[in-house]
Structure 1
């Protein structure tokens, strides 16, 4: 026994008598208070919506990638010792073809911030469609318990719904 804590004798108790802290114990009142504080902080400072990808920058990056491919193609043709006029014609045709393909299926370059954002938006869009998430969903609204109660009441009694002004 240490400072009046623990067993006077461990014999017959099935334990060694060693006193240790119960790490599984969760104080419900402090965790609830902490949750309420975090909830208030989220309500006071709502998260910013994610940045949208800039379409012009994506288009420019894709055109740049096409020009890089054309330069490699030109270098290969020059190594094969093809006449310059014929190389120019082939490059023009290849450029037209690649730009027409760009309209059908965009090339996404790896590593640029806007391409990553574009891919993330596509992923979020697929996720919303898969889980049938409403387009008007506000992040963090699942923790607004008053609004949840209001929606439940409106579902039970549609006459409580506020009329929408279409003016």
Structure 2
């Protein structure tokens, strides 16, 4: 047996025990397709765009949770019902005014089923990484291998330099 393949002993099997690759099952060109499939699997998936409607809903939901927590706290203290409603309404109005600044991730940890929050956090991380690596806004994967596109970009840079040089000469 070699690397867990083959018989432990060839005795009584009618074979020599020599392990040979079975190439009869492969058709011509199949290896290239298998390599391409493996490359496709290894390539990172593109990030899903964040649905702003769901993010907005989660922020409003967080506002309501904080209002309910305040209401429970005030009721436990024995405050009057009118006072509880008034304080909860003022808190709700204050939080709704600052809704765009409300961070939904500060209230609790992200759970595995909250895909929108995960996607939002991942997109922020990708933006920071892209700015750190100075990746252009309209970057497309594989564009460096497109000779025509690279030639157009080179010509555009040359024209821009010439225009800049003319502006510098003429004050």
Structure 2: gaps of 5 or more residues: 1-30, 159-171
Deviation string for 1:9-36 (max 9, x for gaps)?
Answer: xxxxxxxxxxxxxxxxxxxxxxxx97xx
Superimposed CA distance per residue, residues 76-109 of structure 1 (whole angstroms, 9 cap, x where no aligned partner):
1001110000000000000011112222x13224
Shift of 1:130: 1.3
In structure 1, what is the equivalent of residue 55 of structure 2?
Answer: 58
For residues 150 and 87 of structure 1, the distance between their equivalents in structure 2, rounded to whole angstroms, comes to: 65
87, 95, 98: which one aligns with 2:92: 95
Query: Is residue 102 of structure 2 the alignment partner of residue 106 of structure 1?
Result: yes
What root-mean-square deviation, in Å, do the aligned CA atoms of Structure 1 and Structure 2 show? 3.2
* Corresponding residue for residue 134 of structure 2: 132
Name the counterpart of 1:10.
none
Q: TM-score, normalized by length of structure 2?
A: 0.56
2:166 counterpart residue number: none
Give the match's secondary structure for 2:137: coil
Following TM superposition, by how much is the alpha carbon of 1:123 offset from its aligned partner in structure 2, in angstroms?
A: 1.0
> Which residue of the partner structure matches residue 81 of structure 1?
78
In structure 2, distance between residues paired with 1:150 and 1:57: 38
Deviation at 1:72, TM superposition (A): 1.2
Indicate the SS of the match to 1:82: coil
Rounded to whole Å, the distance in 2 between the matches of 1:56 and 1:154 is 38
1:53·1:118 contact (CA, 8 Å) conserved in 2? yes
1:71 alignment partner, one of 68, 71, 89: 68
Structure 1 gaps of 5+ residues are 1-32, 162-167
C-alpha contact 1:77 1:87 (8 A) present in aligned 2: yes
Native 8 Å contact 2:62 2:104 kept in 1? no
Deviation of residue 47 (structure 1)? 7.3
> How far apart are residue 113 of structure 1 and its match?
0.7
